[in-house]
Structure 1
Amino acid sequence: MKLFGLPVSLKECIGVKGMDSTIGYSSLINKPALEDSVIVKVLKSCGAVPFVKTNLVQGMLNFESSNPIFGKTGNPKNVNYTPGGSSSGAGSLVGSGGSVLGFGTDIAGSIRNPAHLCGVCGLKPTMQRLSKIGLQGSLPGQSCLSSCVGPLAQDVDTLVLAMQALSCPLMSQLDKNIPPLPFNDELFQSKLKLRIGYYTNDGYAEPVPAVQRAVLMTKEILEKAGHTLVPFKVPRIEDAMRILSSALFADGGKTCMENLKNDLVDPVNRYLYWRLSCPAFLRPIVKYVVGWGSPRIAKDLMVYGGGDRSVYRLWKIQAETEKYKKEFFTQWQDLDLSAVICPPFPIAAAPIGSVEHTTALTSYCALFNLLNCPCGVIPVTKVSQADTDKLKDHKGNYGDKWDNHNKKVNENSTDMPVGVQFVGLPWMDEICLRLMKEVETQILLQKHES
């Protein structure tokens, strides 16, 4: 019982017998789960003590944290700043010391984003390392972007402990989709020097200076440890963003709109709601007008809502997904990489309510849901005054409204946490955790010496 007596927090969507999982929708109030979800059953079998459910954003498709039932959640470093989302309560509670170990879910960065913004550690495992049976989802049936359950903690050792405990026979006995794959301690403990790719800008959303600096800091730490770091370029990033947005809303936004039709729309979801509800006949007109200022935003608008919802279109999206994955992993293989480091998010924490849900915010996380890569985030640094000063020259890759948004929201983010994302090949979760631990150890040593 590796987790004996350990208090564990659970994202509100994770099923616990006798408790609601509303995901911020009033229509799901007073509909308690009839039994524990598989992840809760396994946690209890490991000796863990689930003690609280944590807040999330309405519908779990936003990087803010608010819903009409439970209200807002603040960042543990500054309660007036967003903790990110959608596993916002998990990031905030762990970051404030209220929970040693929390569990969230991640479909486009919902674990890694709050880990980055709250200054904690988080892991999005390979899909089907941990069971999702018994969870309330926002887009049931959607399978192109892999949704995962994963842990958040104050240090990497606790993430490792959680994955060691949960990679047990009971998980695959209760959920036949989960392979009986034990945690690979040999891979995690390996001292073999690795070849690692890195990038600070994916070409879609240029991160603010603090986020780029964090990646370069991590690159330097890994090089000093004897690893080889080589530049990596994300292939066809605009196509990747079109594919993943198309996959996420292949139903034309119908599922989201059905959930919201008799409910209050939380203010943080207004922009998403507008994109999904805009009538099909109006979209070409809006696209034409918006296109004068940003072709990128105009193209994105046509992906959300309305239009063709046929099985034929869905199959085309799935075929494009497989083609893109082959291209991406061929490039990875050609460079002989074991892992990649990159930003987890283009911005640092910003004031609550200031972060619009734009596609430009999703590229660094959602890409790896599309690819089903395991990814982890650890805190590396904080936004410095020098980082903030550099914002005045920050233009972004397109110089459009989305780039200006990312610049503006971080104008007062000095001293907020900044994380780095570690990415491995599918089923190589232990390599991510190994590198996260190595970098974490060196950062702690540097702090001690200073």
Structure 2
Amino acid sequence: MSQPKILSSPSINKKLLDKKCELSSRFTFFENKLKQLTDAERGKLSGIARLSLDQLSTGIQNNSVTPLEVLHAFQSKVIEIQKNSGNSGICEFISEAEDEARQLTENPRSDDKKSPLYGIPVSVKELLSIRGYDCTIGLIKLIGQPKSEDCVVIRVLRKAGAVPFVLTATSQLALTTNGFNPIFGNMHNPVSEKHEPGGSSTGEGLLICQGGSPVGIGTDLLGSIRIPSAFCGICGFKPTATRISTIGVVDLDPRNVLPPFRVAVGPMGKRVVDLVRVMQVLFESSMFDMDPIVPPIPFKSDVYEAKDRKSLVIGYYDTIDDPSIAQTVPSVRRAVARAVEIVKNAGHHVIPFSPPRPLDALQLILRAVNPDGGQTALRLLSNEPLSDQTQAMRSAVTVPDGLRGLLDGMVRNHVGAPAAWAKMMQKLNRPRDLLEVMHQLRVYQREFLQSMEQTGHIDVLICPVWAYPAYEKNTPSFYSNPPMIYTGLYNALDFPAGSVPLGQVTREDVEQSKELAKEHGKAKDRYHEHLLTMQSESFGLPLAVQVVGKPYQDEMVLRLMHEIQIGSELNKR
């Protein structure tokens, strides 16, 4: 792996050193505390950490395990992962978790007041503010600025008896899909050290995949829950953004993202039912009281349990068929085909679907999340260690507007059309330009919904999460960034969307990519020739599909995700 570019500053270096010393001290404290356990106690905790969320909840309800034992089980598992690989994805332990779990153990609530998350340790992405803890987003300059209060989501979880027990790391700036983090350590894919884990909810993907947390909370602006979930082989769900409060969720600059774009908060876990348990707790009256802006829509159990409609109309696509968009590789197309087969066998009606005007949508996405032309990112990255991705981002921002068209032309000729983004990332200088992008996003949302209706009254979509499985470290940003449209599209539309695992890359997938690379080479399509050649080391990596619904139909998306996961497991037997 190439060394990060260091923009050194004495104060930056001291901040980093002090933080690392603090983290080491806290880690040692928890490690020493758990060393005091007997062998019998350790054996019991090891067994507890292997239980599913529902099994843990049942155990707490029937008093076969206590919230304190469950907390110690997962603290021990985190320490084990970190000591063995240094790749746990954590920032730091939350010290208050011990007292919270002890209180729940010694003064349990009556059974009718116990939520599905009562006594359950929950890992939390660093972007969700917790009183007394930093939110650095991988920036050393933000060390030593602890938050003064909990965000609404944390308050709701604690009220329900959940125990936030560890903060997890993000990719730098929470804007990249690699594992670079100069504060908490660089992260790699848990399946393959050669590959990236996805981002920006990177730490959540790593920790949950390795059994270090029963369930976690991430955030998603362009795919930050779904991408690491897909790369690490777990489940992740981005709700309709307005259904969960974002008060206290850290944003780089909330003025720098145009509506209807907004950060969405959502769950990550090994099973879809784990995500459902979190949503059942969050879609609850206490959140609506704490943030009256959130529509007071409780969890719709009848929709999730298919009591209202047994059969759905499901649209699907296995690639976005446009020469200026990164095309999917064979393994991804096979995963979509498998998901379609599962839902068809379950009695649903399936029909092909094509997203309208995808290149126009990509341009709107890039302008909506980058209206200042990247100046906020440039300011935040000053005097920071940089990865190849953030260095490329920094370089792109500094290109003069008059040269962006010329740069795009050179990129098209030497790399390929999907990588030509410079013009689309140009700063919006006039107020009317900002208003026009906002207007066009609303127009596109209506057009997309109309297209779903006209194609065949589609309820839900099945499609790729990303153009390919987890990519190798040091992959140039020309190839690691363009697939963002597969997830970012549904942030632009504010559609609920989730990622559900569906097997692994096979040797046949790799061989097909190799043969297709030759065909694209003969056709002078350098971009996809290289993208397909990248798949040579992808054998065994997790595959996933994306399930997407209309706004506020979150429960329908979760229902279909659950059906796909169950169907996939039945097919293995």
Question: So what's the TM-score if we normalise by structure 1?
Answer: 0.95
Alignment of 1:113-128 (within 5 A): 113-128=227-242
Q: Secondary structure at the match of 1:282?
A: helix
Q: Distance in 2 between matches of 1:298 and 1:52?
A: 37
Residue of structure 2 in register with 1:72 after alignment: 186
2:261 maps to 1:143? no
Matching residue's letter, 2:446: K
Cα-to-partner distance string for 1:302-355 (whole Å, 9 max, x where unaligned)? 1224x5422111111111111111111101112201100000001102323326
Q: Distance in 2 between matches of 1:386 and 1:195?
A: 31
Count of matched residue positions in the alignment of Structure 1 and Structure 2 = 447
Residue of structure 1 in register with 2:286 after alignment: 170
Q: Distance in 1 between matches of 2:434 and 2:568?
A: 45
Matching residue's letter, 2:499: V
Q: Distance in 2 between matches of 1:109 and 1:404?
A: 25
For the 8 Å contact 2:178–2:196, the answer to whether it is kept is: yes
For the 8 Å contact 2:123–2:217, the answer to whether it is kept is: yes
Matching residue's letter, 2:165: F
* Per-residue deviation, 1:63: 1.0
1:109 is aligned, of 205, 209, 223, to: 223
Cα-to-partner distance string for 1:349-376 (whole Å, 9 max, x where unaligned)? 2323326265421111000000000001
Residue of structure 2 in register with 1:13 after alignment: 127
Q: Distance in 2 between matches of 1:298 and 1:46?
A: 46
Residue of structure 1 in register with 2:43 after alignment: none
Identity %: 34
Residue 271 and residue 400 in structure 1: after superposition, are their counterparts in 2 closer, same or farther (change >3 A)? farther
2:559 is aligned, of 434, 437, 444, to: 434
For the 8 Å contact 1:18–1:35, the answer to whether it is kept is: yes
Cα-to-partner distance string for 1:199-220 (whole Å, 9 max, x where unaligned)? 0011222111111100000101
* Per-residue deviation, 1:272: 1.8
For the 8 Å contact 2:411–2:417, the answer to whether it is kept is: no
280-289 or 214-223: bigger deviation: 280-289
1:240 is aligned, of 353, 361, 373, to: 361
Q: Distance in 2 between matches of 1:140 and 1:399?
A: 42
416-425 or 165-174: bigger deviation: 165-174
Residue of structure 1 in register with 2:536 after alignment: 411
* Per-residue deviation, 1:8: 0.5
Residue of structure 1 in register with 2:464 after alignment: 343
Q: Distance in 2 between matches of 1:41 and 1:248?
A: 28
Residue 5 and residue 271 in structure 1: after superposition, are their counterparts in 2 closer, same or farther (change >3 A)? same
Q: Secondary structure at the match of 2:569?
A: helix
For the 8 Å contact 1:64–1:353, the answer to whether it is kept is: no
For the 8 Å contact 2:326–2:418, the answer to whether it is kept is: no
Q: Distance in 2 between matches of 1:414 and 1:297?
A: 25
Q: Secondary structure at the match of 1:411?
A: helix
Residue of structure 1 in register with 2:448 after alignment: 328
Residue 355 and residue 221 in structure 1: after superposition, are their counterparts in 2 closer, same or farther (change >3 A)? farther
* Per-residue deviation, 1:290: 2.8
Matching residue's letter, 1:436: M
131-140 or 327-336: bigger deviation: 131-140
* Per-residue deviation, 1:223: 0.7
Q: Distance in 2 between matches of 1:406 and 1:314?
A: 34
Residue of structure 2 in register with 1:198 after alignment: 316
* Per-residue deviation, 1:402: 4.5
Residue of structure 1 in register with 2:375 after alignment: 254
2:505 maps to 1:383? yes
Residue 317 and residue 299 in structure 1: after superposition, are their counterparts in 2 closer, same or farther (change >3 A)? farther
Q: Secondary structure at the match of 1:51?
A: strand
2:425 maps to 1:304? yes
| Alignment gaps of 5+ in structure 1 | none
2:338 maps to 1:217? yes
Residue 241 and residue 391 in structure 1: after superposition, are their counterparts in 2 closer, same or farther (change >3 A)? same
The answer to which structure has the higher helix fraction is 2
For the 8 Å contact 2:367–2:428, the answer to whether it is kept is: no
Residue of structure 1 in register with 2:153 after alignment: 39
* Per-residue deviation, 1:146: 3.0
Q: Distance in 2 between matches of 1:285 and 1:439?
A: 46
Q: Distance in 2 between matches of 1:308 and 1:185?
A: 43
For the 8 Å contact 1:290–1:297, the answer to whether it is kept is: no
Residue 55 and residue 400 in structure 1: after superposition, are their counterparts in 2 closer, same or farther (change >3 A)? farther
* Per-residue deviation, 1:387: 0.2
Q: Distance in 2 between matches of 1:212 and 1:47?
A: 41
103-112 or 73-82: bigger deviation: 73-82
CA RMSD across the alignment: 1.9
Q: Distance in 2 between matches of 1:400 and 1:227?
A: 37
Matching residue's letter, 1:367: L
* Per-residue deviation, 1:87: 0.5
Q: Distance in 2 between matches of 1:238 and 1:394?
A: 24
Residue of structure 1 in register with 2:516 after alignment: 394
Q: Distance in 2 between matches of 1:404 and 1:173?
A: 54
For the 8 Å contact 2:328–2:467, the answer to whether it is kept is: yes
261-270 or 220-229: bigger deviation: 261-270
2:298 maps to 1:182? yes
* Per-residue deviation, 1:91: 0.6
Matching residue's letter, 2:570: L
For the 8 Å contact 1:15–1:135, the answer to whether it is kept is: yes
* Per-residue deviation, 1:17: 0.5
For the 8 Å contact 2:244–2:282, the answer to whether it is kept is: yes
Cα-to-partner distance string for 1:273-303 (whole Å, 9 max, x where unaligned)? 2212222243233234334346735752112
67-76 or 53-62: bigger deviation: 67-76
Residue 443 and residue 393 in structure 1: after superposition, are their counterparts in 2 closer, same or farther (change >3 A)? same
Residue 122 and residue 311 in structure 1: after superposition, are their counterparts in 2 closer, same or farther (change >3 A)? same
2:390 maps to 1:272? no
* Per-residue deviation, 1:120: 0.3
Q: Secondary structure at the match of 1:99?
A: coil
Residue of structure 2 in register with 1:63 after alignment: 177
Residue of structure 2 in register with 1:365 after alignment: 487
Cα-to-partner distance string for 1:417-447 (whole Å, 9 max, x where unaligned)? 1001000000000001101111111112222
* Per-residue deviation, 1:55: 1.2
Cα-to-partner distance string for 1:225-265 (whole Å, 9 max, x where unaligned)? 11010000111111110111111111111111111123232
Q: Secondary structure at the match of 1:230?
A: strand
- Bigger Cα Rg: 2
